[in-house]
Amino acid sequence: MDLLKTLPIGLYLEEPETWLHRLDARVKLLWLVSILITPILANSPWRFSLVLLLVGLTILAWIPLRVWRQQMGWLLAICTIMLVLTLILPDGLAIDYQPRLPHTSVLTQVDPVPEAFAIATWDPPPATGYRYILFHQGPIRITQQSLELGIRLSTLFFTLIYGTNLFLLTTVSEEITVALEVLMRPLRWFKVPVTEIALTVTLALRFIPLVLEEVQNLVRSVQTRAINWKKLGLRGSIQVWLAVVERLLKNLLLRAEQTAAAMQVRGFTTPNTHRVDWYRLRLRLPDWIAIVLLGAFWYARWVWGGDS
C-alpha cells in the first residue's frame, strides 16, 4: 500500500502542467471560497451543479486519470452511502400526521345542516400532488425531509473534500502562502499577525506528506510481522492499534521538533525579518476571464441557487 500514490491528499501535481496550474493563486483561492460558501442555504439543483462543476473542471484541465480516478471513486462511493443511509434512516420528525378532514363515520353522525343555513357550498381547492412520504415499504420509509437531508450531506461532503483537494493539486504551497498573505493584508490594520498565519499554513501543507509517510510506514511494519489477529481477539487487536497510534503521534512530534530545529539553525526565527519571495503574483488575461466568470457564478447563485 502506497498512500502517497493511492491517496494524494494535499499533494501537488508537478507534471503535466495544466491551465489550472497557470492561473493566479489568488483567483483560485477566491473560486475555492466561493464554491465552499455558495452551498449555504442553496437548493438541491445548485448543490448538484457544484459537484458537476468540480468533475467538469477536472476533466477539462486534462488532469491524468491515474491521479483522480481512485480518489474520486472512493469519494463518490462514500457520498452515495451517506445518501442511501440518510434516505432510509428516520428523518428526525417524530410527528403523528392526521388527516385534515374528519373520518367518514364522524361525518355520518353529524346532524344535517338546515336548509335555511345552507346558502352556499364550499368547494375544496384542487390537489397539488405534494406528498411528504415519497416511499414506504415495510421498515423503509423515504420522506421529503430525509431526501433533502441526504442531498445536503452528500453533496456538501463531496464539495468540501474534492474542491479543496483540486485546489491543492494544482497550486504550489508557497504560492498559496503568498496569495493568503496578499488577500489578508487589510487585517494588519487590526494588528493581526498575517505573516505568521501564512507561514503556519505553509508548514501545515508541507507536513501533510510527512503524516501520510509515517502512517504508511507503520502500517507496513504491522503487515510484515504477520500478526494472527484471530488469536489476539478483539481486546488484543485494540491494544495493538492503540500502540500503533501512540507510535504515530511520537513520530509526528519528532518530525515537528526536527523541522523547528532546522529552522532555528538556519536563523529563521521570525517571518517578518527573514522574508523569502517565493512567487510574484501577477494577473494575466486568463485570470481576468476567471474573475469575470466568478462574477457570473455569484449572479447565478443569487438568481437560481436560492433555497425557496
Tens of pLDDT, residues 96-111:
555 566 655 555 555 5
Query: What's the confidence (pLDDT) of residue 96?
Result: 55
| 169 has pLDDT over 80 | yes
Across the chain, the runs of DSSP E, i.e. the strands, are: 133-137, 140-143
Number of structural domains the chain divides into: 1
Does the structure show a pLDDT above 90 at 92?
Answer: no
pLDDT for 193 beyond 50: yes
Q: Is residue 151 part of a domain?
A: yes
Q: Which residue has the higher pLDDT, 132 or 33?
A: 33
Domain carrying residue 22: 3-93+132-283+300-304
Per-residue pLDDT band at 10 (split at 50, 70, 90) = low
Name the residue with higher pLDDT: 73 or 75: 75
Residues of the chain by 3-state class (helix, strand, coil), percent to 5: 65, 5, 30
* H or E element that contains 75: helix 65-88
Residue 194: inside a domain, yes or no?
yes
pLDDT at 49: 93
pLDDT over 50 at 288, yes or no: yes
* Sequence-distant (≥ 6) Cβ neighbours of residue 297 within 8 angstroms: 31, 34, 38
Q: Which of 82-96, 116-130, 138-152, 205-219 has the lowest mean pLDDT?
A: 116-130
Query: What is the pLDDT, as a whole number, of residue 88?
Result: 84
266 falls within a domain: yes
pLDDT at 159: 94
pLDDT mean over 38-63: 91
Instruction: Give the per-residue pLDDT at 109.
Output: 54
Which range has the top average pLDDT, 38-47, 113-122, 293-302? 293-302
216 falls within a domain: yes
Domain-located, residue 162: yes
**What CA–CA distances, in Å, run from 178 to 168, 277, 301?**
14, 8, 29
CA 94 to the chain's CA centroid? 30
Q: Tell me whether residue 101 is in a domain.
A: no
Instruction: Note the pLDDT of residue 158.
Output: 93
In a domain? residue 290:
no
Interatomic CA distance for residues 54 and 153, integer angstroms: 17
Report, as an integer, the average pLDDT of 269-280: 63
Most confident of 104-113, 167-176, 297-306: 297-306
Q: Is residue 35 part of a domain?
A: yes
**117 falls in which pLDDT band (50, 70, 90)?**
very low
Q: Give yes or no for residue 196 having a pLDDT over 50.
A: yes
